[in-house]
Amino acid sequence: MWKAEVYVTLKKTVLDPQGATVQNALRALGYKNVVEVRVGKFMELAIEGGDRGQVAAQVEEMCRRLQPGDRGVPFPPGGNGHDGEAGPLKFGVVVFPGSNCDADCFHVVKEVLGQPVDYVWHQERDLQGYDCVILPGGFSYGDYLRSGAIARFSPVMGAVEDFASRGGLVLGICNGFQILLEAGLLPGAMRRNDCLQFRCHFVHLRVENPRTPYTSLCREGQVLRIPIAHAEGNYYADGETLRDMEARGQVVFRYCDGEGMVTPASNPNGSVGNVAGVCNREGNVLGMMPHPERAAESILGAEDGRLLLESICRYLEGR
């Protein structure tokens, strides 16, 4: 039995907010010569069989192939149709009949993030060449039957499923989250708000998992101020499913108060466990009810949403 120690840290091109916090603390204590801190961790592997050289080669190969992701679950490599070739990032914003936040998302990606972006009509069947696809908020197909229930059958959703299976980043916001749930790309379901009212106001979110492509610039427990606007945002998953999701780090955001306390009073819609956003097991598909694109510029009164969108860029640039 061989034992190998592997040290894991972020790529140099990826911002390390935890390391920066430690560095600032050390410099505040008078250690001005500390110019950089990178936070990492050791993993100990137990490997059976083979000689020392074979085991060393295997460990090196595993490290090359394994891309550390959400709580030990590797994100699928590549998958965006670029075949590993470097190039500018490319975003796609899907437009369904009834979408009304597509222009907001397009504006933020193009004007705030400065990234190339296209509108993708719901009849499109090919997402080749995109790095991140956004399903925006709105009232797709008038929310008839149930929010997202008709949109999940749009031709583009077959392409979204294929894109996600190859590791492409998919962000569903509000109605986009509802569509991802209906399509089975995320676990759980959405119900009417327990108050039976349309809720449109700012809420506070606590970052539960900062180890996703969407939260890498955040820290665990950080409180974000981002608005909601929905009538069907009451997230539900049965107890066993929710426990499994929490163990895997799939609960990414929870509604909380301004101090980060998760309370019934801070839950705007009755979501089980105050859940505000979840990801799939692989970590590349995220759905959230709050609107980060509406909190990405100071002129709108909040910029916390920009952290999530910039995290996407950091992740894609650091692949």
Encoding tokens for residue 177? 């989250």
DSSP one-letter code for 18: H
Computed on alpha carbons and rounded to an integer, the radius of gyration of the chain in Å comes to 20
DSSP 75-123: PPP--SSSTT------EEEEE-TTB-SHHHHHHIIIIIS---EEEEETT
- How would you classify residue 235: left for phi > 0, otherwise alpha for psi between -120 and 50, otherwise beta? beta
DSSP 213-260: TTTTTS-TT-EEEEEEEES--EEE--HHHHHHHHHTT-EEEEEE-TTS
Which residues participate in catalysis according to the annotation? Answer: 174, 291, 293
Rounded CA-CA distance 78/169 in Å is 10
Give the position of tokens 């009509």. Answer: 121
Cβ-contact 182, 152 below 8 angstroms: yes
